[in-house]
Structure 1
């Protein structure tokens, strides 16, 4: 077997070896059962006292969402002003300037929303203070927000009828103290001992082999890169993200970072089953998600390992595959695996340039973000999947002539309306955003008010359309990766993607939590011979069909105008 393929198989298996027991551990943590990390209770108690939090106070689903949204608004305001005035604040040895208001608007919304779409270059766009005390801080709390929202969802289905769904602040704090901080500490040490900078010193200087003087940025990178992946954030310390040799020095660190960004999304699925005492349901969901991963990964590997057909026609040998935009220390197979994982999960980090991928690879990357529920982000991936599941329950109920039920609770008109709104939201944001961008680029290319859209694209035509489609898709999916042929640091893209990021993050959290809260409060209906079981292979197939049909109907025309058209014309 090709050694590159062996490497990604080993990475996937190691991921599962870590993620599955981690999921069982998380179920115990959030259920309040005894675990080995209970020695951290005094720290948590101190945080509660300092913050004036009474964790014994139970919240319903509306109070949970109010707490979630309120604290996120506070972080938005705080981060916005730090980004604007970072040039006047300490820990800025390289003298990086403050951000413009539109760039600060985009950046702070992006990091609060766990998207981390970066319209700036990491090492030159922000100071050490901003990197650590705004951006890295937000990578912890945004991940914890998603996990806490998922635990509220868990609580709604643990008991037969539930209106009191625990305390948001307890779930939020435990997500950090019991999960994100310990894992980040271990991962940061691994990266530090393998070549990633972790100091506060300024740029270093050396003489290249050609005799040029080169100034190399460094700083406290290892700490941020750890939580960037564990929290499925993706925001790079350096502009080149994990393609940068300081962020990702070797094949070993590449494996570590790949494993890190998958373990918590998978663990949350396993935790769901153990928490609500329905393990078979969790494994069914995990199976659908894993099949989805492989259905995107296998054609991506085939495309990248086959190389560029245009070069092949010219008789140019491509060795192991398409290497444009990829790092030699990783190769095309590991890059394809990373590109698949980072787009089905809302990480968005890159170890190669997605803009240089084969056109069909771009299709799979876009589709992974459009579906946005094959593992997905920390906690939020499961919430996204739940919307598809509710739709599948409703359709299945209609097919067999029964009132749709999920875990003993009737799914009625109100829940279906919420699910329908959330289902339609993503296509609207992605397609409307791309349509507006395309219209402005086509009709007002030289208009001063349009911020010179003629300079947006390095690759007009089908690929240029794909670049704009990718930017809107990545924003809506809270992903943050990009086709970097797009010039995105301007008024239009900063404001438009900022709005899409905000809506694409919080409405898909509000919707599933609201549905779960409404269902949990209903009278429990015991299972009978006529109950539609949601943990069977048949229902898993139904859910998978719903996912494929909804996304095919929503996005095929846009994909046909972009990466598919590019593929068939070259």
Structure 2
């Protein structure tokens, strides 16, 4: 156990050590400064010429958002068409069938919004063609979309007074070519060397030690696993995700995949500091996020390494091992579960449904708060909303007009920020309430769809609560005791996926655009400092009060009630 804990500590140190120089590189990429990646310029220029794009054209925040949403709408139909017709397309050696309309709707939306909620098993639910040209393609584009949105916000915040926030296409293409693709190539090569499959052969027939025949799925897994982790996508090539021995075959692969989850989300905070030339502010933001993250790591690790109190008289030296592998261990699964829910990654190397109630509550709170690093780009944007609210409250407390980076925070920005802060819990709680009502009052409909819950009472509510939390947070992990591949779950979570991705991005970019137009006010002795420990504590308190407490009543009926019943 001590070895596992040391390994977790080393991983966290590596995350921070690698993210700092990466953040500096990201800032240079978005500012258009010279960097080692300039050799990719001919490829980027060819893309611009082919698509008839002027990467130097400055966009207003409205045009920026319009371009972002139009592109995403196109890819939604692309995904739907390929998924419902995949049985006719090439690269299908295992003869997998097409997805139904409701499942294809959910899958296309899920990967489009960087959530990767999977109501199917990868081995049988997709073909190699759709794994590559829907799943992997979307994992690059949607991650780059979030990064481009943050780049636009950073450009707006860095300018004293401006009507534009940069060029969406410039940020999108560079996010793919200079950040996501190089990192994915490195991670993919390491995974191939560790034994992750990378080929196009169909299922292999093998003879087991018991003397029976068994078929084992394979395919181009290494390429997809790399970007699923680095882009905080999380969609598994195999149904068991990174708990599958071919998707995560060794300690080294587990190390690389675990670090990859946090690498870019952490780096984006440092990139913010380098881009705005306000490193002290970035360190303050990083400290608040890291505090929330490390609290979740510590709590889940304590729970999962201490064993199950209902199992008495039996040694549990490995901790609570249900849903975990002996070769990875409970501590490694605890770190992964904290990282995957503190970001919008959602991949797993153990089953969250089998973890202890307090662990499940912390995992959900990570997603419900949705600001401890979060997704690539959108994690900071979620935090940005709480900065706006904290600045406004702090300004009122000291009797000054609230200001952020030399711009006044006024009623219009505050209204948008408040709506966004409340919209996230509203989506989660509304979905959970509807699902719970239908399950308890319309058993006929539920039974007709095959039933939803494998677990009764508190844990059953937790399964439904987790599903909508994961959907709204663009996470994609699940309490897999829930039978979610039904028209109700496919459409209801799909709707929440759409709203919870695009409404916040629209609001966040709008605030940045509105603030950018305002007159810059030089700092004075009375200016509220946002890069201090005091303001960091204030922001942390605002996040916990607004985001976390909204969910306490439902947790009291689910995870907390289950914890007290042990």
- The match for 2:250 is 250
- The match for 2:348 is 350
Q: Quick check: 1:517 aligned with 2:516?
A: no
Structure 1, residues 79-99: CA drift from partner, whole Å, max 9, x if none?
Answer: 101000000111100000000
Instruction: Give the 5 Å matches for 1:134-173.
Output: 134-173=134-173
**1:453 Cα deviation from its structure 2 partner:** 6.0
Instruction: Give the 5 Å matches for 1:93-492.
Output: 93-311=93-311, 314-447=312-445, 450=446, 452=448, 455-492=451-488
Q: Is the Cα contact below 8 Å between 1:445 and 1:454 reproduced in 2?
A: no
**1:553 Cα deviation from its structure 2 partner:** 2.7
**2:464 & 2:187 partners in 1: Cα distance?**
34
**1:160 Cα deviation from its structure 2 partner:** 0.9
- 3-state secondary structure, aligned to 2:324: coil
Q: Is the Cα contact below 8 Å between 2:369 and 2:548 reproduced in 1?
A: no
Q: Is the Cα contact below 8 Å between 2:421 and 2:547 reproduced in 1?
A: no
**1:557 Cα deviation from its structure 2 partner:** 0.4
- The match for 1:503 is 499
**1:506 Cα deviation from its structure 2 partner:** 1.0
**1:453 & 1:215 partners in 2: Cα distance?**
30
- 3-state secondary structure, aligned to 2:443: coil
Q: Unaligned stretches of 5+ in structure 1?
A: none
Q: Quick check: 1:82 aligned with 2:82?
A: yes
- The match for 2:21 is 21
**1:507 & 1:451 partners in 2: Cα distance?**
34
**1:451 Cα deviation from its structure 2 partner:** 6.0
Q: Quick check: 1:542 aligned with 2:553?
A: no
Would you identify which runs of 4 or more consecutive aligned residues in structure 1 move more than 4 Å? none
Q: Is the Cα contact below 8 Å between 2:154 and 2:272 reproduced in 1?
A: yes
**1:553 & 1:289 partners in 2: Cα distance?**
18
**1:479 & 1:120 partners in 2: Cα distance?**
16
- 3-state secondary structure, aligned to 2:310: helix
Between 160-169 and 370-379, report the one with greater CA deviation: 160-169
Q: Unaligned stretches of 5+ in structure 2?
A: none
Q: Is the Cα contact below 8 Å between 1:198 and 1:220 reproduced in 2?
A: yes
**1:452 Cα deviation from its structure 2 partner:** 3.2
**1:508 Cα deviation from its structure 2 partner:** 1.3
**1:566 Cα deviation from its structure 2 partner:** 0.2
Q: Is the Cα contact below 8 Å between 2:106 and 2:494 reproduced in 1?
A: yes
Instruction: Give the 5 Å matches for 1:549-568.
Output: 549-568=545-564
**1:207 Cα deviation from its structure 2 partner:** 1.0
Q: Is the Cα contact below 8 Å between 2:368 and 2:548 reproduced in 1?
A: no
**1:181 & 1:462 partners in 2: Cα distance?**
43
In 2 relative to 1, CA 465–325 (structure 1 residues): closer, same or farther, beyond 3 Å?
same
Q: Is the Cα contact below 8 Å between 1:441 and 1:453 reproduced in 2?
A: no
TM-score normalised by structure 1 residue count: 0.98
**1:237 & 1:397 partners in 2: Cα distance?**
49
TM-score normalised by structure 2 residue count: 0.99
Q: Is the Cα contact below 8 Å between 1:445 and 1:453 reproduced in 2?
A: no
**1:434 Cα deviation from its structure 2 partner:** 0.2
- 3-state secondary structure, aligned to 1:234: coil
Structure 1, residues 46-68: CA drift from partner, whole Å, max 9, x if none?
Answer: 00000000111110111110000
**2:415 & 2:212 partners in 1: Cα distance?**
63
Q: Is the Cα contact below 8 Å between 2:148 and 2:171 reproduced in 1?
A: yes
**1:369 & 1:216 partners in 2: Cα distance?**
34
Between 195-204 and 296-305, report the one with greater CA deviation: 296-305
**1:82 & 1:112 partners in 2: Cα distance?**
14
Structure 1, residues 489-547: CA drift from partner, whole Å, max 9, x if none?
Answer: 00110000000111111111111111011001100011111111100000000000001
**1:551 Cα deviation from its structure 2 partner:** 2.2
In 2 relative to 1, CA 329–109 (structure 1 residues): closer, same or farther, beyond 3 Å?
same
Structure 1, residues 453-481: CA drift from partner, whole Å, max 9, x if none?
Answer: 67210101000000000000000000000
Q: Is the Cα contact below 8 Å between 2:358 and 2:559 reproduced in 1?
A: yes
**1:297 Cα deviation from its structure 2 partner:** 1.2
**1:93 & 1:506 partners in 2: Cα distance?**
37
- 3-state secondary structure, aligned to 1:456: coil
Structure 1, residues 251-279: CA drift from partner, whole Å, max 9, x if none?
Answer: 11101001111110111100011101111
Q: Is the Cα contact below 8 Å between 2:406 and 2:523 reproduced in 1?
A: yes
Q: Is the Cα contact below 8 Å between 1:359 and 1:567 reproduced in 2?
A: yes
**1:233 Cα deviation from its structure 2 partner:** 0.1
- 3-state secondary structure, aligned to 1:214: strand
**2:447 & 2:427 partners in 1: Cα distance?**
22
**1:39 & 1:257 partners in 2: Cα distance?**
27
